[in-house]
Amino acid sequence: MLKYNVKNLMRLRGISEPCAFLKMHGFAKGTATRIAREKMLGLSPRQVEQLCVALKCTPSDLYCWTPEKGETATENHPLWKLRERAVMSVADVGKGIPAEKMGEFLEKVKKMEEEMKG
């Protein structure tokens, strides 16, 4: 089953107020609320693009997939890359790091961010 993955993406990004974030990125209040709660019936291509720009992701990141009951899926399945996984944000990881190591942790995160940019 293909489902939206917007809540997890926002959590990963450390977005604590999804509705406010979405409104700040041009979504109307009602639409922002439905998207934040993953209660939308569908998204237009324009909204998908708008979400991708706001969340710095690709359209495939907006979805996750779980095999239907009784369906066997392997790495060869076309939707395998979208499978649902446990999500942990950087903030979650940071909770377990001792205070004296936090500076080192943040430096490594910064370095990775720079490497990803370019």
Report which DSSP code applies to 56: T
pLDDT level of residue 28 (50, 70, 90 thresholds): very high
> Domain total for the chain?
2
Q: Taking the mean position of all CA atoms in its chain, how far away is CA 42?
A: 17
pLDDT level of residue 85 (50, 70, 90 thresholds): low
Average pLDDT, the chain: 85
Higher-confidence residue of 26 and 92: namely 26
Same-domain pairing of 93 and 57:
no
Inter-residue contact 7 to 38 (CB < 8 Å): yes
Inter-residue contact 83 to 66 (CB < 8 Å): yes
Tokens linked to 39? 């209660």
β-bridge partners, 64:
3
pTM of the prediction? 0.68
- Kindly tell me if the per-residue pLDDT of 108 is higher than 80: yes
Same-domain pairing of 72 and 29:
yes
Cβ-based burial of 36 (10 A; exposed 0-12, middle 13-18, buried ≥19): buried
pLDDT (tens digit per residue) in 8-27: 889 888 898 999 999 999 99
pLDDT level of residue 87 (50, 70, 90 thresholds): low
Q: How far apart are CA 52 and CA 64, in angstroms?
A: 15
Domain span at 24: 2-85
Same-domain pairing of 77 and 37:
yes
